[in-house]
């Protein structure tokens, strides 16, 4: 069964709930009227998707096409702006207040039930093996071109895994794991609402989908390097990444410019708002020292 957005909102809320959820709680979580919720709950009860206010195995089966099945971490780069700490350690493995940066991302995936995890590595690749002690499910993908191409080369390595998949930049610290969700109605990207910023931003259309990727703007979303791709978009993106990479100048691209610029208009990517305090990107050694005083020596 193909769900409407309202049906998806309600059924997925029931799927991730811990126990029975009232219609009043669903109204608060989903933002739909009590009348809409009552109507859909009755439909789902008649179909056998819910019983006594809780989701049934049949309801879980209906949500399966919307489930995030895997996570891909782009982690091949050098991290030059974090020198000197990255001279001997890949940026995702740098410890911040005692915890590796990438651990916050992996832990959030596992909490959302995503345990098919791939890491695209390049610089000091063997150091990522240390992750296997804590995360034995990880599989590594090797990027031999990390030193001569931009991160599109990592997307090339992982392009056939993009269906029903998260794609993460691996230098982000997540403080709120719940922003990584198990179910998605469409392809989406996390963004931080900004009244004004000089950073890379996304503007949105009237439906809340990505309209433009650019530097700086007003009433826009600061880009966060966390995308989710549904099955159809993931399959399409695999071919577009290859085409863009092989085109003149393609190796210099950032991978996310493929859907947002090179093939603009061919994807509907919903922007999911998140807060500044939920995601921190450490770009420079100065920022690292500000967050973890042990580096300020």
User: Are 261 and 156 within 8 A, CB to CB?
Assistant: no
CA distances, 63 to each of 10, 269, 274, 288 (Å): 11, 19, 24, 40
User: Are 153 and 145 within 8 A, CB to CB?
Assistant: yes
pLDDT at 94: 93
Average pLDDT of the residues in 28-48: 91
Angle between helical axes of 34-47 and 23-30 (0-180°, round to 10): 110
Q: Which residues contact 110 (CB under 8 A, 6 or more apart)?
A: none
Calpha distance 114→11 (Å, rounded)? 19
Q: Picking from 20-29, 159-168, 226-235, 278-287, which range would have the lowest pLDDT averaged per residue?
A: 20-29
Burial class (CB in 10 A: 0-12, 13-18, 19+), 280: middle
Confidence band for 20, pLDDT divided at 50, 70 and 90: confident
Return the ∠ at Cα 277 (arms to 227 and 120), rounded to 5°. Answer: 35
Confidence band for 86, pLDDT divided at 50, 70 and 90: confident
Q: Is the pLDDT of residue 283 over 90?
A: no
- Supply 147's token pair: 């030193």
- Supply 156's token pair: 């090339």
Map tokens 């791709």 to a residue. 229
Q: Is the pLDDT of residue 108 over 80?
A: yes
């Amino acid at each position: 069964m193909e769900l409407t957005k309202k049906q998806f909102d309600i059924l997925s809320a029931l799927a991730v709930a811990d126990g029975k959820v009232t219609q009043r709680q669903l109204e608060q979580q989903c933002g739909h009227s009590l009348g809409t919720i009552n109507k859909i709950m009755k439909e789902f009860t008649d179909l056998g998707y819910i019983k006594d206010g809780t989701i049934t195995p049949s309801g879980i089966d209906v949500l399966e096409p919307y489930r995030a099945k895997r996570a891909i971490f782009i982690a091949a780069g050098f991290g030059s702006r974090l020198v000197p700490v990255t001279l001997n350690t890949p940026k995702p493995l740098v410890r911040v207040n005692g915890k590796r940066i990438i651990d916050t991302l992996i832990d959030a995936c596992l909490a959302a039930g995503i345990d098919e995890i791939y890491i695209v590595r390049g610089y000091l690749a063997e150091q990522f093996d240390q992750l296997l002690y804590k995360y034995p499910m990880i599989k590594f993908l090797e990027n031999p071109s990390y030193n001569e191409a931009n991160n599109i080369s990592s997307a090339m390595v992982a392009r056939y895994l993009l269906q029903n998949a998260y794609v993460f930049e691996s230098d982000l610290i997540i403080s709120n794991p719940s922003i990584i969700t198990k179910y998605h109605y469409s392809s989406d990207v996390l963004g931080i609402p900004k009244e004004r910023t000089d950073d890379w931003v996304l503007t949105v259309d009237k439906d809340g989908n990505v309209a433009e990727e650019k530097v700086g703007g007003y009433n826009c979303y600061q880009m966060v390097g966390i995308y989710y791709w549904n099955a159809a978009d993931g399959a399409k993106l695999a071919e577009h990444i290859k085409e863009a990479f092989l085109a003149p100048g393609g190796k210099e691209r950032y991978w996310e410019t493929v859907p947002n610029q090179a093939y603009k208009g061919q994807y509907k990517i919903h922007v999911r708002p998140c807060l500044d305090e939920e995601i921190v990107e450490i770009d420079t050694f100065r920022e690292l020292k500000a967050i973890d005083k042990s580096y300020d020596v």
